[in-house]
């Protein structure tokens, strides 16, 4: 569905579910049209059937660029409102980690789950105060020439800053993991990256706790 900002939202699961998982993609420096995230799509396809009590929403930004981060945050906020759930978890991949942190002050948001999240030192983590932050990061993730990536040390610093401001959470380094869970082949087929099953298992662990709060 088209959002009021011009972004798109793809929904999987019951629209009347009381709890939603809002998935936000990564980005790049160049200001290019948004795309669907291969990593998030791969996870939603596998996990949505396991969690019929949750509704999943994948956001396709208008422009997927950290130079338009405010636009991406506006797209994410609009998606949270469109989902209309009483409780929300933000699932952010790469730059989507920063988008999720910026969006975490929405009233329905209780949890942020970052997958190799880009949490630059200049990013304010104040919206995470009182929220739960779970970070999953591949141990082999690096930014290389022509290849996107986020060093685990960067997300670790962001995680520690969030805890210092009152967030709770866990940080997990996935041995042998790369930057993300899957890529899209030229044919459009999703191709799982090494350790994809481990990523999915850990995300499922977090969704289980979110779906059944104590």
Residue 59 has pLDDT above 80, yes or no: yes
| pLDDT of 164 | 97
In tens, the pLDDT along 113-170 reads: 999 999 999 999 999 999 999 999 999 998 777 677 999 999 999 999 999 999 999 9
pLDDT digits (tens, 9 = 90+) for 1-14: 999 999 999 999 99
Residue 127 and residue 68 in contact, taking contact as beta carbons nearer than 8 Å = no
User: Average per-residue pLDDT in the chain?
Assistant: 95
pLDDT tens column, 194-205: 999 999 999 999
Residues near 140 by Cβ (< 8 Å), separated by ≥ 6? 176, 177, 178
Residues 6+ apart with CB under 8 A from 175: 139, 195
Does this model's pTM top 0.85? My answer is yes
Q: Domains of the chain by range and CATH?
A: 8-211 (3.40.50.1820)
* Residue 31 clears pLDDT 90, i.e. is over it: no
pLDDT tens-digit series, residues 80-108: 999 999 999 999 999 999 999 999 999 99
């Amino acid at each position: 569905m088209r959002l009021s900002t011009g972004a798109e939202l793809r929904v999987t699961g019951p629209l009347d579910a009381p709890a939603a998982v809002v998935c936000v993609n990564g980005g790049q420096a160049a200001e290019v049209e948004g795309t669907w995230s291969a990593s998030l799509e791969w996870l939603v396809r596998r996990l949505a059937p396991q969690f019929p009590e949750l509704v999943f929403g994948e956001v396709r930004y208008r422009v997927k660029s950290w130079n338009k981060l405010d636009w991406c945050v506006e797209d994410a906020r609009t998606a949270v409102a469109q989902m209309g759930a009483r409780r929300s978890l933000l699932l952010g991949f790469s730059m989507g980690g920063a988008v999720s942190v910026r969006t975490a002050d929405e009233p329905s948001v209780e949890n942020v789950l970052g997958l190799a999240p880009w949490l630059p030192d200049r990013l304010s983590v104040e919206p995470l105060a009182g929220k739960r932050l779970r970070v999953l990061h591949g141990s082999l993730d690096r930014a290389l020439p022509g290849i996107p990536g986020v060093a685990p040390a960067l997300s670790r610093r962001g995680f520690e800053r969030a805890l210092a401001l009152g967030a709770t959470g866990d940080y997990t380094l996935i041995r042998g993991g790369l930057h993300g869970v899957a890529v899209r082949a030229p044919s459009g087929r999703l191709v799982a990256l090494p350790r994809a099953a481990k990523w999915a298992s850990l995300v499922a662990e977090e969704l289980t706790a979110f779906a059944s709060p104590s």
